[in-house]
Amino acid sequence: MRREKRRSFVVRAGKAALCLTKRNRSRKSLARTHGFRKRMSTTSGRATLRRRRAKGRWVLCTKSNHNSGKRP
């Protein structure tokens, strides 16, 4: 009987990528980009709010809600 060698596929990352973890953005910066006032400042943002109101969403902009993601 003849045995075949197993071949493995190795992917090596750069040194910088090995020890870095993904950082979370602060609520303030998320609200600046996705918050209620930012939505109201553009035509397409107002259309987004209109659609969410028509759908019956309780929270129109999740990123401007100060309680979102908070732990007790």
Residue 8: what are its φ and ψ, rounded to 5°?
A: -115, 155
Which 3 state secondary structure label does DSSP give 67?
coil
Give me the sign of the Cα torsion angle 21, 26, 27, 30: negative
Query: Is 70 contained in some domain?
Result: no
Show the tokens assigned to 50. Answer: 């209109």
Query: What's the domain range around 53?
Result: 25-64
**Domain count across the chain:** 1
Query: Is 52 contained in some domain?
Result: yes
The confidence score (pLDDT) of residue 29 equals 84
Where residue 35 sits, what CATH number does that domain have? Answer: 1.10.287.3980
The confidence score (pLDDT) of residue 15 equals 63
Res 8 pLDDT > 80: no
Query: Is 18 contained in some domain?
Result: no
Residues 17-69 have pLDDT tens digits of 566 788 888 888 888 889 999 999 999 999 999 999 999 999 998 888 676 55
Query: Is 17 contained in some domain?
Result: no
Query: Is 46 contained in some domain?
Result: yes
Q: Which residues, including other chains, have CB under 8 Å from residue 35's CB and lie 6 or more apart?
A: 61, 63, 64
